[in-house]
Amino acid sequence: MRKKIFALAILVAIFGVGCSKTDSDGNASGVTSINESDLALRKGDLFTEDEVSGAEANYSSAAPGTSTKFERSFTNAPPMIPHEIKDMLPITIKNNQCISCHDRESAKDMKAAMPNLTSIPDTHYRDLRSKDQKDLGHLAGARFNCVQCHAPQANVKPLVKNNFAPDYQDESEKHGSNLKDTINIGKDTLKK
């Protein structure tokens, strides 16, 4: 309880919540307000959706196995989906067409484990919540919704300029993952 009160006191000190004087109209004196249309990237009224439309995106229409995949955005970033997926949605725990090609048992036969393609990594078959992170022998229940982390590649104009450039420790990290080997780094130094 003391920690919650302390955290609230810090927020009040930082943001002045409830501490500003108000004029007769209820407006905080000496505080400049920000118009809600300036808060979002779309620069419009945040309380109406009448004129909102999604960004025009050109998704890859390449069939699975025929496209070229992007480098990962950073070490162990979930890879982008390089092929058409609209007929594969929605992905549910009982209907997941991704695993029909990318499951570690079928990936080789489906040619989804070639050097430029991928099978589902071992970390997706492990119980990462258990202490020993045992292999379950099947896709972990928390990992069935592939598009929760993996997004289709699209050619879109960024809303905001991005100067980020990944700094890979090894060239293999551009197209692969070393998460299986690095997931427990630092685990022993965490204190509960």
DSSP string, 41-55: TT-S-TT--TT--PP
105 residue type, one letter: E
Partners of 58 in the β-ladder: 155
Q: Give percent of the chain above pLDDT 90.
A: 4
pLDDT of res. 177:
81
Partners of 28 in the β-ladder: 22
- Spatial distance between the Cα atoms of 7 and 112, rounded to a whole number of angstroms: 50
pLDDT surpassing 80 at residue 112: no
Q: Residue 6: pLDDT band by 50, 70, 90 thresholds? A: low
Q: Residue 169: pLDDT band by 50, 70, 90 thresholds? A: confident
- Exposure on the CB side of residue 18, measured as CA atoms within 13 A: 6
**Residue for token digits 């162990």?**
76
Q: Which domains does the chain have, with CATH numbers?
A: 61-157 (1.10.1130.10)
pLDDT surpassing 50 at residue 67: yes
CB neighbour list of residue 92: distance below 8 Å, 6 or more residues apart: 144
DSSP string, 73-134: SSTTPPPPB-S--GGGPSP-SS--THHHHHSTTTTTTTT-SSTTS----GGGGB-TTSSS--
Q: Per residue in 35-47, pLDDT tens?
A: 766 766 666 666 7
pLDDT surpassing 80 at residue 55: no
Worst-scoring range by mean pLDDT, 86-90, 126-130, 157-161, 184-188? Answer: 184-188
Whole-Å CA distances, 7 to 18, 20, 138: 15, 19, 42
- Spatial distance between the Cα atoms of 81 and 147, rounded to a whole number of angstroms: 9
pLDDT of res. 167:
84
pLDDT surpassing 50 at residue 145: yes
Q: Are 76 and 177 in contact (CB under 8 A)?
A: yes
pLDDT of res. 82:
85
pLDDT of res. 18:
46
